[in-house]
Structure 1
Amino acid sequence: MSSRVRRAGLAVFAAGLALTGAVYGVARSTAANAAAQLTAPQLVADMGAGWNLGNQLEANANGIPSETAWGNPVITQALIDRVKASGFKTIRIPVSYLGKIGAAPNYTVDSAWLSRIQEVVNYAYNSGLYVLINMHGDGYKSVTGSWLVCDASDQTTIKAKYQKVWQQVATKFASYNDHLIFESMNEEFDGQYGNPTQPCYSNIVAYNQIFVDTVRRTGGTNASRWLLIPGWNTNIEYTTGNYGFSLPTDTYRSSSIPSGEQRLMISVHYYDPWDFAGQEDGNITQWGAAATNPAKKSTWGQEDYMDQMLKKMYDTFVTKGYPFFVGEYGSVDKTSADAANNTYRANFAKAVVATAKKYGGASAYWDNGYNGQYGLGLFNRSSNTVTQQGIVSAIINAAGGTSPTTPPISPSPSKTPGSPSPSPSKSSPGGAGTCRVVNAVSAWNTGLTNNITIANTGSTAINGWNLVFTLPAGQTITGGWSATYSPSSGTVTATNVSYNGTLAPGASATIGYQANHTGNAGAPTGFKLNGSTCS
């Protein structure tokens, strides 16, 4: 994300499949790395579902990068393991350098900071995931110590500094294979929303050229790795339209790359319509064709608009061999204003991923680590657990992967230290029928979450379903995912959402909810799917 005003939850909102049998460490030879190179369509397919480790390595305190400065805990291997186990195959790691850069003429990056960046990259890279790193907050005028400013007067100094920093970063990672991708910068523009200005856009184009030339000249796998190139503020219209964007030449790339193939990708972000995706109020909480209340739905930016915008990326770049990457997308949590909001957030995420894939691009959800009102968190980074399984499942399924059916889910943000540990999973009572249901209840103090896995045990497909069950006395649903729930207590009906309404024989879907309780944290009972009693 591009400014403090457009950031939610924390102090600032910032915004792969491994080859068979391979373990990707830093010691692989250049020859081995070159052999692993993929074509554009292969790369996009292999990257699968993506996730952003936002508000961490780009966070800063008074211009000094610090991964805990914006309220998140220290990044751990366990967190990355949970993200991978949830079905993600690509992780974008935004990075700021700012006050970690030394004086001219060498502009030496603090060695401890570079080592920490490498350590976090290794968490994902050594697990076989794709990893993207960039230069993130150095171009934000609103950030103390920013310097990559396209309309500043001393561009000679800026360009020299930019070249030296990327030279050091590229050298640090020169032996990493094609599962590591570099992105030149993030949401670079003059800070004023509206049509791009000159010579600011010309400077952005020049930065991209410096980036490509610098990385390629460091040698090793850098001569052939995929590089990610943004236009003006990663805006699709200003990147595809006639506003001043041009791709860098790739003069110094490895001769091992076939002449008809590219090794450049185009970076864009997608948060449209903003009144749904990012505006911090409860007015617009629904999105897409499934919306039920026109007053809560934006007047623009629906599925047809999304398709139109991402098709521009296909027409402008993909047809010429350049894939694109929607490096950020998402929508803030407005369940405090509309209990059904998470359904529309999942629908939005699913649509972005599926539409990008349709037009030759990959994507990565923006997670700022914050779980609460206007947050974008999918995971609890302290407990390394899933907090928005409905959105995660929508993303993974749209990307063509498989989401775990009963992943662990974190307790409510209101859970206090020292409260009881989650209770064991409990199965619902038996009964005959063509469906099977398994509860997975996690309880604490006066709250609980429950993931319900529904399996079609019959011989014919189920096309659209209602799951009826009875909550224990004293329980009230406060929010849910992957289904709509009504009423919130007593005998409840959960109705499928757009992406999980069809259950082929043997297929299953996982839904879930969060509830308050008055001492009885038991599992619901009496499950019936479309009137048929479930076992």
Structure 2
Amino acid sequence: MRRLLLLALAVLTFFVAVPLVSANAAAGFTVSGTRILDANGNAFVMRGVNHAHTWYPTRTTQALADIKALGANTVRVVLAGGQRWTANSAADVTNVITQCRANRLICVLEVHDTTGYGEESAAATLDQAVTYWINVKSALAGQERYVILNIGNEPYGNTGATAWTTATTNAITRLRAAGFEHSIMVDAPNWGQDWQFVMRDNAAAVFAADPQRNTIFSIHMYGVFDTAAEITDYLGRFRTAGLPIVVGEFGHNHSDGNPDEDTILATAQSLGIGYLGWSWSGNGGGVEYLDLVTNFDANQLTSWGQRLFNGANGIKATSREASVFGGATPTTPPVTTPPATTPPPTTPPPTTPPPSSGVCTAVVSVNSWGGGFVATVRVTAGSAALTGWNVSAVLPSGTAVTNTWSAQATGSTGTVRFTNVSYNGTLAAGASTEFGFQGTGASPTTTPTCAAA
């Protein structure tokens, strides 16, 4: 009996002396379905901005402090790999990470030299970006709790963008073989906007090629994403596929069109998706309107800065600090249940119809040009809720649908039927959602018809 008591005491002493490690504990950030988890196993949703450190290194110390003071939990830092701009040294990268940590900001580091490869003659390849990361590995090792590695900014233009899948897969494989255990972020091609859907349609294969299954996808939303339907469809497809995505850059205006920033912010918040606005200050070349503050002065927020930091679904209202900095676990979950319908823009479009006493109505608005058009269709439930809908549109002779988002199309010419997708079929009485389609030929002129599915 004495021997049994001694054995029991030894076992008890072992369990008291050796702390239990959480099953969720990790070296750094990890991916769980659509969620990004920090090293403590808590969900983390990026709310922050981009800062052009490589061009304005003397501004970084104050910029990071100001960005944190305005409520951000993340900063995406522009670095250079040496192909287009002077490479940031390992010592400089260490300094950036140290300052991010001092300000309790998660640091997303990116190599900017890859921007527009295939169209920009001086752009670097993703393979060259990986070589840079390996060269500065000493600054990154052991920082997995605080750093996410964004391999290369907008790594393809519009030429040769289909090569993105292989190049990105090879880059991830090479980083893992070199011993990197960080969460890896990959930008879309088409100057980050993926209008050819190369990243969207190949994301699952790229994710599966990462032996650690720890890859995050990043879409940049500028003029391509100028309607609510395009935004909700793109982000919704990643949600449906169970893959993690963030809006790594976006603005309130751009030379290629007017992005719908209200819907970007609302949809990101409803789906628990991170976003990083472009950019703190120092823009030039005609896009100075993308500065969030004037001349790096946090007391001079621009209209874009006011919107991003202080507006609806903005940083101040939705940001939660990463738990790895030792604060209390957020009481408000950063990942929320998506609404039953696609969130509309803050200001409804003028084509919004009043609630109908019928089953549903559909109103179309068209943006056309010589030989083509983009149509946005707003579907509104009548006096009763819907669990599914379909819309029929009669197209003029010679007109064909070439692309559809937030709906499934049956047919492409004549009478085309559009049916809801998984995330926008359920509508409360009087509620609305949107879908869109692109076509060649004359734009539709007849009012589409709507029916319950």
TM-score, scaled to structure 2:
0.52
1:139 is displaced (CA, Å) by 4.1
Q: Deviations over 1:271-319 (max 9, x none)?
A: 1368xxxxxxxxxxxxxxxxxxxxxxxxxx3xxx22443333322x223
Q: Which amino acid letter does the alignment assign opposite residue 268 of structure 2?
A: A
Unaligned runs of 5+ in 2: 1-23, 319-453
- Partner of 2:162 in structure 1? 201
- Partner of 1:454 in structure 2? none
- Partner of 1:266 in structure 2? 217
- Partner of 1:326 in structure 2? 247
- Aligned residues of 1:163 and 1:210 also touching (Cα < 8 A): no
Cα distance, 1:318–1:388 mapped onto 2, change above 3 Å: same
Q: Distance in 2 between matches of 1:231 and 1:364?
A: 18
Q: Distance in 1 between matches of 2:28 and 2:110?
A: 25
Q: Which of 119, 128, 142 is the equivalent residue of 1:175? A: 142
What is the 5 A alignment of 1:133-532?
133-140=109-116, 145-148=122-125, 159=127, 161-192=128-159, 197=160, 200-202=161-163, 204-219=164-179, 222-223=180-181, 225-239=183-197, 247-250=205-208, 253-254=211-212, 262-272=213-223, 301=226, 305-315=227-237, 317-332=238-253, 348-367=260-279, 369-370=281-282, 374-388=288-302, 391-392=305-306, 394-395=308-309, 398-399=312-313, 402=316
Cα distance, 1:384–1:121 mapped onto 2, change above 3 Å: farther
- Partner of 1:120 in structure 2? 96
What is the 5 A alignment of 1:16-95?
33-34=26-27, 37=30, 39=32, 40-41=34-35, 43=37, 46-54=44-52, 56-57=53-54, 67-68=55-56, 74-95=58-79
1:184 is displaced (CA, Å) by 2.1
Q: Distance in 1 between matches of 2:124 and 2:108?
A: 22
Q: Which amino acid letter does the alignment assign opposite residue 213 of structure 1?
A: T
- Partner of 2:375 in structure 1? none
- Aligned residues of 2:28 and 2:183 also touching (Cα < 8 A): no
- Aligned residues of 1:136 and 1:185 also touching (Cα < 8 A): yes
What is the DSSP-based 3-state SS (H/G/I as helix, E as strand, rest coil) of the residue aligned with 1:402? helix
Cα distance, 1:163–1:79 mapped onto 2, change above 3 Å: closer
What is the DSSP-based 3-state SS (H/G/I as helix, E as strand, rest coil) of the residue aligned with 1:328? strand
Q: Deviations over 1:386-432 (max 9, x none)?
A: 4237743554554475369xxxxxxxxxxxxxxxxxxxxxxxxxxxx
Q: Deviations over 1:209-233 (max 9, x none)?
A: 12212222333xx325243343443
Cα distance, 1:386–1:249 mapped onto 2, change above 3 Å: same
Q: Distance in 2 between matches of 1:84 and 1:96?
A: 23
What is the DSSP-based 3-state SS (H/G/I as helix, E as strand, rest coil) of the residue aligned with 2:220? strand
Cα distance, 1:390–1:312 mapped onto 2, change above 3 Å: closer
1:190 is displaced (CA, Å) by 4.4
Q: Distance in 2 between matches of 1:250 and 1:119?
A: 33
Cα distance, 1:207–1:352 mapped onto 2, change above 3 Å: same
Q: Deviations over 1:237-257 (max 9, x none)?
A: 323688776642555645xxx
Q: Distance in 2 between matches of 1:311 and 1:215?
A: 31
What is the DSSP-based 3-state SS (H/G/I as helix, E as strand, rest coil) of the residue aligned with 1:238? coil
- Aligned residues of 2:97 and 2:107 also touching (Cα < 8 A): yes
Q: Which amino acid letter does the alignment assign opposite residue 147 of structure 1?
A: A
1:174 is displaced (CA, Å) by 2.0
Q: Which amino acid letter does the alignment assign opposite residue 309 of structure 1?
A: I
Q: Deviations over 1:42-99 (max 9, x none)?
A: 5496234220113x42xxxxxxxxx24xxxx722322211111101111111222234
- Partner of 1:471 in structure 2? none
- Partner of 1:4 in structure 2? none
What is the DSSP-based 3-state SS (H/G/I as helix, E as strand, rest coil) of the residue aligned with 1:138? coil
What is the DSSP-based 3-state SS (H/G/I as helix, E as strand, rest coil) of the residue aligned with 2:134? helix
Cα distance, 1:242–1:378 mapped onto 2, change above 3 Å: closer
Cα distance, 1:217–1:125 mapped onto 2, change above 3 Å: farther
Q: Distance in 2 between matches of 1:263 and 1:333?
A: 32
Q: Distance in 2 between matches of 1:244 and 1:271?
A: 21
What is the DSSP-based 3-state SS (H/G/I as helix, E as strand, rest coil) of the residue aligned with 2:278? strand
Q: Deviations over 1:311-350 (max 9, x none)?
A: 33322x223331211111113599xxxxxxxxxx9x9544
Cα distance, 1:273–1:352 mapped onto 2, change above 3 Å: same
What is the DSSP-based 3-state SS (H/G/I as helix, E as strand, rest coil) of the residue aligned with 1:128? coil
Q: Percent identity?
A: 16
What is the DSSP-based 3-state SS (H/G/I as helix, E as strand, rest coil) of the residue aligned with 1:331? coil
Q: Which amino acid letter does the alignment assign opposite residue 77 of structure 2?
A: I
Unaligned runs of 5+ in 1: 1-30, 58-66, 102-108, 149-157, 255-261, 275-300, 335-344, 405-535
Cα distance, 1:98–1:359 mapped onto 2, change above 3 Å: same
TM-score, scaled to structure 1:
0.45
Q: Deviations over 1:97-135 (max 9, x none)?
A: 23489xxxxxxx96x623223322332233221221122
Which range moved further: 388-397 or 227-236? Answer: 388-397
- Aligned residues of 2:79 and 2:110 also touching (Cα < 8 A): yes
Q: Distance in 2 between matches of 1:333 and 1:100?
A: 23
1:185 is displaced (CA, Å) by 1.8
Cα distance, 1:125–1:226 mapped onto 2, change above 3 Å: farther
1:363 is displaced (CA, Å) by 1.0
What is the DSSP-based 3-state SS (H/G/I as helix, E as strand, rest coil) of the residue aligned with 1:237? coil
Cα distance, 1:206–1:177 mapped onto 2, change above 3 Å: same
1:364 is displaced (CA, Å) by 1.0
RMSD of aligned alpha carbons: 4.0
